[in-house]
Amino acid sequence: MTVISEGATAAPQAAQTAPLLEVRDLHVEFHTRDGVAKAVNGVNYSVQAGETLAVLGESGSGKSVTAQAIMGILDMPPGRIPQGQILFQGQDMLAMSGEQRRKIRGRKIAMIFQDALSSLNPVLSVGYQLGEMFRVHQGLSRKAAKAKAIELMDRVRIPAAAERVNDYPHQFSGGMRQRIMIAMALALEPDLIIADEPTTALDVTVQAQVMDLLAELQREYNMGLILITHDLGVVADVADKIAVMYAGRIVETAPVHQIYAAPAHPYTKGLLQSIPRLDRKGQELYAIKGLPPNLLHIPSGCAFNPRCPMAQDICRTEVPVLHTAGPGRGSACHFWKETLGE
């Protein structure tokens, strides 16, 4: 797959122009019965038009919550955004009126959700739900909207789309529902797509097709793409740059090529070591020891310190800033040099 060409060459000049989306020092917390869960604790990232940012990280580290904050679909309450900015084409969406935001959502920024089944309405046919996009946003007739729905289902390779357009979500397999969600996100040709594990439910051949499709549309419309995924293979295939999250923070950012060759944060390193490898069959897989942090009581200093093989005293007291670890690279580790150098 050759996806980078445009994105990669565009990136250096694009740095002078405003990014398509920029998240600045975003914080999100949830008020629960047991206390305040700090899910996102100062996230910074940006995407240019035509660029793919892959967001990796531990499950529970705040990847989806950050995406929900960008989309403006956080449950508030119990969620709260005490601090931060989300600039879309230079405008802070957190400061906008509900009306202004609704205009952006769906039309300019679309999201593919992690949980396809629960984001589709079970009592409406998928064709109706797809068609609704065109009826509401483009004022198409029922019939025209349905034809568009079939076309989209075709595009994401739902077999026999014309026959199945009136079927309900439960009649499709997990992967097919995921493709329907992708179709819905693509419907209005948005500027930015946030895809939250869009291919987790797909087998590799369909995954390859879907990623190719996303890449093709991305080129065609110069779309920005935020790809949240656990699949380090997919990331290696399509990403331009990577942000790694842990306990609600970005712990490492880097262009895709560098991170695999030499991670600069011990968490990223542990993650890469955990990939199952052929020559380790029959042995235990490497896994980062310990439990994920309790968001009600995030460890002081570096949140990763109780699980980190590199940790020293300073890690338990001082929060590491994002150190520059090379061109376009950052690592929030006191010992990033040692980690890189090992």
Partner 1 sequence: MSDSTLEPILSVRNLVKHFPLTQGILFKKQIGAVKAVDGISFDLYPGETLGIVGESGCGKSTVAKLLMNLEQATSGEVFYKGQDITRLSGRALKAVRRNIQMVFQDPYTSLNPRMTVGDIIGEPFDIHPEVAPKGDRRKRVQELLDVVGLNPEYLNRYPHQFSGGQRQRIGIARGLALNPEVIICDEPVSALDVSVQAQVVNLMEKLQDEFGLSYIFIAHDLSIVRHISDRVGVMYLGKMAEIGTDAEIYDHPTHPYTQALLSAVPVPDPEAREHRERIILTGDVPSPANPPSGCRFRTRCWKAQERCSQEVPLLAVPSVFAGQDTPAAHESACHFAAEKDVVHAA
Ligand X SMILES: Nc1ncnc2c1ncn2[C@@H]1O[C@H](COP(=O)(O)OP(=O)(O)OP(=O)(O)O)[C@@H](O)[C@H]1O
The footprint of ligand X on residues 66-105 (CB under 6 A) is: 75, 78
- Based on its alpha-carbon atoms, the radius of gyration of the chain, rounded to whole angstroms, reads 21
Angle at CA of residue 163, ends 212 and 134, nearest 5°: 65
Contact indicator for 332, 249 with CB cutoff of 8 Å: yes
- Which whole-number Å values give the CA distances from 147 to 140, 171, 193, in the listed order? 10, 20, 23
Among 118, 121, 141, 324, binds partner 1 (CB under 8 A): 118
Is residue 76 close enough to count as binding partner 1 by CB under 8 A?
no
Is residue 205 close enough to count as binding partner 1 by CB under 8 A?
yes
Please tell me the distance from the alpha carbon of residue 78 to that of residue 310, in angstroms, as a whole number. Answer: 36
Among 178, 218, 305, 331, binds partner 1 (CB under 8 A): 178
Among 64, 125, 258, 339, binds ligand X (CB under 6 A): 64
Among 64, 178, 305, 331, binds Mg ion (CB under 5 A): 64
Nearest to 293 by CA among 327, 251, 257, 255: 251
Is residue 283 close enough to count as binding ligand X by CB under 6 A?
no
Is residue 63 close enough to count as binding ligand X by CB under 6 A?
yes
Q: Residue 319: how many CB atoms within 10 A of its CB?
A: 14
Please tell me the distance from the alpha carbon of residue 127 to that of residue 133, in angstroms, as a whole number. Answer: 10
Q: How far is the CB of 185 from partner 1 (least distance, A)?
A: 18
Contact pattern for partner 1 over residues 15 through 54, marking x by CB under 8 A? ---------------x-xxx--x-----------------
Is residue 202 close enough to count as binding partner 1 by CB under 8 A?
yes
Among 14, 30, 41, 240, binds ligand X (CB under 6 A): 30
Q: How far is the CB of 171 from ligand X (least distance, A)?
A: 4
User: Which 3 state secondary structure label does DSSP give 163?
Assistant: helix
Return residues touching Mg ion (CB under 5 A): 64, 114, 174
